[in-house]
Amino acid sequence: MFWQLLPTISAPMPFQMALDELLFERLIREPHQPVLRFYIASDPWISAGYSFRRPDDLARSSLVRENPGIPVCRRVTGGGCVLHGPDLIFALVARYDPDNGPLSSVRTSYRKLHEGVKIALRKFDLDPDFYTSQKTLLQGTDCFRFPVASDLSWKGRKIAGGAQKRSRGVLLHQESIQIPNCAGREALSEAVLKGLESVLGITVRTADFDPELFFQAERKAALQSADLWKNSEVT
């Protein structure tokens, strides 16, 4: 199977989230090749999962309370709050067979994708471990402080985790990887790409952005930014 690899973009997180959502919606509407892309937050941002429906919900996040100067944007995927800026993010959008294949279920796909990330990190002399039973882990609103099963840890600290949205046979997976000191973004991106190709049994081909999709993401992000939650108002 061939996947499209889109160019890496550094941009504010509202744009990145809008673009991921548009790619997800496009694949629901019409046949299209699966898409993989890596991206970077151009400035510090916090993204909050879909369960944070109102500004008051942010008060539950210690990450938000401790960083009142960092703006927050919403994700369509699940999970808690994540600080972006020093991380490498990737998103993939693909159709899945609920009865078969590496993307068949949330649990199966989450494990498989992190196997790919684990392979990548080994290239930098790291050997991260999988968190195991979710029942034994503390539960909270901040993703990197409260890992779930199949997240990756290194020296007792979570270094990779993701979140998903699924609808009508299409999934969007968004992943944040804390970049180790021994790796640069470009080298890590290439290693993760190779790891995902290996575990998913795919071949990736580079592709350009559809300019109209890019402009749609800018417009969508501008509308969302007009209603951004204000961290400074959280008490």
Q: Which range of residues forms the domain containing residue 198?
A: 2-233
Please give the pLDDT value at position 134.
54
DSSP state of 151: -
DSSP state of 142: B
Task: Quick: pLDDT tens for 136-191.
Answer: 444 567 888 878 888 999 988 899 999 999 999 999 999 999 988 888 899 999 99
- Specify the long-range contacts of residues 207-212, CB closer than 8 Å, at least 24 apart: 207/4, 207/5, 207/6, 208/6, 208/7, 209/6, 209/7
Total structural domains in the chain?
1
Maximum Cα–Cα distance across the chain: 49
At a CB cut-off of 8 Å and minimum separation 6, what does 221 contact? 12, 14, 15, 17, 18
- Mean pLDDT (whole number) for 197-209: 95
The CATH number that applies at residue 15 is 3.30.930.10
Question: Using CA atoms, how far apart are residues 58 and 80, in angstroms rounded to an integer?
Answer: 10
Please give the pLDDT value at position 140.
63
Q: Which residue has the higher pLDDT, 181 or 35?
A: 35
Please give the pLDDT value at position 141.
77
By CB atoms closer than 10 A (0-12, 13-18, 19+), residue 190 is middle
Name which of 6-20, 44-58, 79-93, 215-229 the model is least confident about: 215-229
Q: Report yes or no: 6 and 209 within 8 Å, Cβ to Cβ.
A: yes
Question: Using CA atoms, how far apart are residues 85 and 93, in angstroms rounded to an integer?
Answer: 22
Question: Using CA atoms, how far apart are residues 135 and 149, in angstroms rounded to an integer?
Answer: 8
- Mean pLDDT (whole number) for 185-208: 95
Please give the pLDDT value at position 60.
84
- Mean pLDDT (whole number) for 202-208: 95
Instruction: Collapse the DSSP code of 191 into the 3-class scheme (helix H, G, I; strand E, B; otherwise coil) and give the result.
Output: helix
**Whether pLDDT at 231 is above 50:** no
Question: Using CA atoms, how far apart are residues 96 and 169, in angstroms rounded to an integer?
Answer: 6
**Whether pLDDT at 226 is above 60:** no
Supply the DSSP string of 10-70, one letter for each residue: EE-HHHHHHHHHHHHHHHHHS----EEEEEEESS-EEEE-TT--SGGGGGG-HHHHH-TTS
pTM: 0.91
**Whether pLDDT at 223 is above 60:** yes
Q: Which residue has the higher pLDDT, 59 or 211?
A: 211
Nearest partner of 159 among 186, 124, 200, judged by Cα: 124
Instruction: Give me the chain's average pLDDT, please.
Output: 89
Which residue type sits at 164? Q
Task: Quick: pLDDT tens for 83-129.
Answer: 999 999 999 999 999 999 999 999 999 999 999 999 999 999 999 99
Q: What's the pLDDT band for 58 if we cut at 50, 70, 90?
A: confident
Please give the pLDDT value at position 234.
47
Q: What's the pLDDT band for 11 if we cut at 50, 70, 90?
A: very high
**Whether pLDDT at 235 is above 60:** no
Please give the pLDDT value at position 229.
52
Please give the pLDDT value at position 137.
47
- Mean pLDDT (whole number) for 65-74: 91
